[in-house]
Amino acid sequence: MRQVAAATYHQVWWPSVDVRVYEPGQAPQWNADAAGYTDPTTGRLLPSWDDALDLVDADPDAQPVHVARFGVQVDAKGVLAGTKDADRCVGYITKYLTKQAADCHDVTTGRQRAHLDRLWQELRHTPCSERCANWLLYGVQPKKAKQGLRPGNCKNKVHKRETLGIGGRRVLISRQWSGKTLTHHRADRRDWVKALLGVTTDAETAPAGGEQRHAWELAKPTDPDVAPLGHRVLRAISERIQWRVQLDTARRNQAPPDVSATVTTQEKAFLGIPVSTLYQWRYRRIGPKASRVGRHLRYDPADVRAWLAKQAA
């Protein structure tokens, strides 16, 4: 793990930011006829983002603008639920997620305040992304440039004093590790509800001759069949309350899963409980009775149902 971390790096190949071509007060101006930003003195159109990258590719001596590497401290280990290490890790992560970068050090002296101000002034005019307005200060139009860009006034977090350049996400969001967007998750949720209720509500999957809940057609405000807006809102609320009652009833009536054995992969779980937690339960002698067969645990369905009934009592 340490060798992989030491050999891992990320390079950012952008146009050079070593020399600032313009100052914020003399920044390039938008030219509507040229559909781009031009030099305030000569009126020459600035290179587009793609043209600037082509110049970087053509330069044999070009160097990446940024190179990011892991730090020297690498502490990779598993954490079992219910242990002292688990509580410590949860506390650390909670502190990490809520702490501002500027809270790491208290500014108490004039030299520290001057250093903070110099750092902020530098980050204020350093490009933070391909579309940052600060690229205009370095003689390059940002990607997808549009009218109204103001160098030195980019609203991204990396330019603010309280974040000090740390503007990225602190948590890996679901679409990065699942490959799914919020729309995909909603579709999965809808399919799960439909399967649980045993109903079909769309024309694509409806059986031949099956009844559909809605028939869609364009309705005008003057159509006598269209109820007033207030009535439609109340009807939608009432309909969704009925759906929730039906869903809760279906979940309560759902047959217990087959729990004769634990699963053999970490992706699956028993009653929604991670496999690692089941092994931890057996080690601590809690939960339903389990027997070990090779590397896996096996459960008697009768013991599991009795344990579930005891928990619900």
CA 87 to chain centroid, in Å, comes to 25
User: Which of 135, 254, 148 is CA-nearest to residue 193?
Assistant: 254
pLDDT tens-digit map of 233-282? 999 899 889 888 888 888 777 765 554 444 444 434 456 677 767 777 77
Q: Supply the pLDDT for residue 267.
A: 36
pTM over 0.75: no
Considering 74-88, 104-118, 142-156, the range whose residues carry the highest mean pLDDT is 142-156
pLDDT tens-digit map of 165-196? 554 455 555 566 566 777 887 888 888 787 77
Both structure tokens of 234: 């109340």
- The overall average pLDDT reported for the chain is 77
**Angle 166-123-106 (CA atoms, 0-180°, nearest 5)?**
60
Beta-carbon contacts of residue 136 (< 8 Å; ≥ 6 apart): 22, 27, 28, 37, 46, 142, 149, 151
